[in-house]
Structure 1
């Protein structure tokens, strides 16, 4: 799946991907391999639950390792602290926006692989992030959301120190 924009990620987000990869490869996979080896030595593999489950789990781990490896290979690490123009919304910005009813919401624009809307981290490719790109304080931006079109005003822009 090719995206029309780079797969940006913060240094912290890349470190989390790396830690998950290292945990799977260095801890979890060897543990499962050990269980499968032990279970294989117990005879009939067709009715051996430890063996069958272990093989299934190993395939899941290998698939996850491939996905993580591809994400890390395709990632373009961008440190928001290095943003030269902090007066506008770019990758890594924490933005406070207000809708038509003056409801304020603060979001941080991060890589799509590290987005977590419940924690206020929205992916770079999300509709709100795309609408906010390049905006300055006081700018109005329209966003087409599943619930309909909304207009937001940029109230504050902040970058990590």
Structure 2
């Protein structure tokens, strides 16, 4: 079929769907996030809207003015990048609208596990681990951070130092002992 008779669309059906980069927020739950996590998401949103998107729009405008768009790489890749930026802007906007900023430093000195806690625990085999419980959009497992909706976080929430909690895993139920609970210091 000749290209003259095909319809050029801005996005195919599978490209235009909002594909989140983080898991969905459980129904009826809040999107808890630390002040630092909120600032990072907001900074990314502003950077996309104020810097990156205008640059790409300028490139697409310049490429469109060059004529034939069907074989113009700057135009085609620019339009694709614009869709990606717009998708990320929509995602960040929705997440920030639902965000409930929670400062974990208010629990400084307490031994009970709440959102934002850094928890050191021992597994039944004696192996010790340390995790920090953060928001869905800010947790990074490579840095020992878990989302507050993760099974380990849900098992630990509301427990205290010295408590033994039961964690349901694919291998069965495990008992873990809470060894230490710390919180970040309040910002001055």
Alignment RMSD: 1.4
Mapping of residues 56-71 of structure 1, within 5 Å = 56-71=80-95
Equivalent pairs, count: 161
Q: Which 10-residue stretch deviates more, 108-117 or 75-84?
A: 75-84
- How far the C-alpha of 1:49 sits from its partner, in A, is 1.1
Q: Is 1:153 matched with 2:172? A: no
Deviation for aligned residue 1:84: 7.7
Match of 2:73 among 30, 49, 59: 49
Q: Distance in 1 between matches of 2:25 and 2:129?
A: 31
3-state SS of the aligned residue for 2:110?
coil
Which of the two has higher C-alpha Rg? 2
- Give distance in 1, aligned partners of 2:45 and 2:70: 31
Structure 1: gaps (5+ residues): none
Q: Deviations over 1:9-57 (max 9, x none)?
A: 0001001101111111111101100100000000011111111111111
SS in 2 for 1:113: coil
SS in 2 for 1:112: coil
2:134 — aligned with what?
110
1:93 aligns with 2:93: no
Aligned to 1:137: 161
What residue number does 1:17 align with?
Answer: 41
TM-score of the two chains, using structure 2 as the length reference: 0.82
| Unmatched segments (≥5 aa) in structure 2 | 1-23
Separation of aligned partners in 2, 1:25 and 1:145? 42
- The counterpart of 1:38, out of the listed 57, 62, 79, is 62
TM-score scaled to structure 1, two decimals? 0.95
Deviations, residues 103-154 of structure 1 (Å, cap 9, x unaligned): 1101111001111111011100000000001001111111122343321100
Between the aligned partners of 1:152 and 1:2, the Cα distance in structure 2 is 26
CA distance in 1, matches of 2:114, 2:149: 12
